[in-house]
Structure 1
């Protein structure tokens, strides 16, 4: 969760996506912009500081709304206790994950243009994206 995005104009981003601007949505979107690859419980903890009454289930609902609106995207990694979320970048980047501490970092496209990889047999499908997860041990854990 070390990669941090530039500040986001949350109300404008919500309006552009056709979502109603609420204090809770703004707070969740701002928390998401401050901590890439965050599980919902971490986002809830961040938002709870400013909005003490917000329920974990409310944050789940907001993250789902942001994902459906393509403002956020879900990152499912092997061995992760739960899905992680990040601001949608509109690209085809990948991830590297430490198998010891769980740290996750972005990896830009490995080679060439998106979708970066060509399957040996696409089975008649037009490929839209490729998701690769590199797993290793970070220097701190080694």
Structure 2
């Protein structure tokens, strides 16, 4: 009986994830899984940049194809924040939501308040058998808030010195 892959070895981890999703294992697919593990909430273009470092002969279309296959197989999830390109992540086994900074675009996962899918119930489901609720919380991240405060303090100091 073969031993399980070492999760500390990205290539073995990627191979195990692909096989677990019933997908054929290829060099470019392994690289896309590894890139998603390194950079959750990345766009296809961002993932292509990461993949091209390890698989120089890959194409952007190959990355798009892999991502489409991953979403179809339930290996990855696509989120589509308003005004941004689609983003991809490997966290698919729960009903979590996202926090997005309206200034810098940072994206973070936030667990469902209730913990069961769907974790929000509409006032009228109109006969639908609800399965998932997708919520995106928009705001200003701590880094941007700190930068804004520092910029305002600097402007106040310059104004006071004038």
Instruction: Say yes or no: TM over 0.5.
Output: yes
Partner of 1:103: 106
Report if aligned partners of 2:95, 2:115 keep a CA contact under 8 Å in 1. Answer: no
Partner of 2:95: 92
Which of 1 and 2 has greater Rg? 2
Report if aligned partners of 1:70, 1:88 keep a CA contact under 8 Å in 2. Answer: no
Looking at structure 2, the residues matched to 15 and 140 of structure 1 have their Cα atoms a distance apart, in angstroms, of: 39
Distance 1:112 1:52, change over 3 A: closer
Q: Which runs of 5+ in 1 are unaligned?
A: 1-5
* TM score, norm. by length of structure 1: 0.90
Q: Which runs of 5+ in 2 are unaligned?
A: 1-7, 146-162
Alpha-carbon displacement from aligned partner over 1:56-98 (angstroms, at most 9, x marks no partner): 1110001111111110010111221x10000033110000100
- The Cα of 1:16 is off from its aligned counterpart by 2.2
Looking at structure 1, the residues matched to 83 and 113 of structure 2 have their Cα atoms a distance apart, in angstroms, of: 22
Write 1 or 2 for the structure with the bigger share of helix: 2
Report if aligned partners of 1:92, 1:130 keep a CA contact under 8 Å in 2. Answer: yes
Q: How does 1:40-119 map to 2 (within 5 A)?
A: 40-80=44-84, 82-111=85-114, 113-119=116-122
CA RMSD of aligned residues (A): 1.5
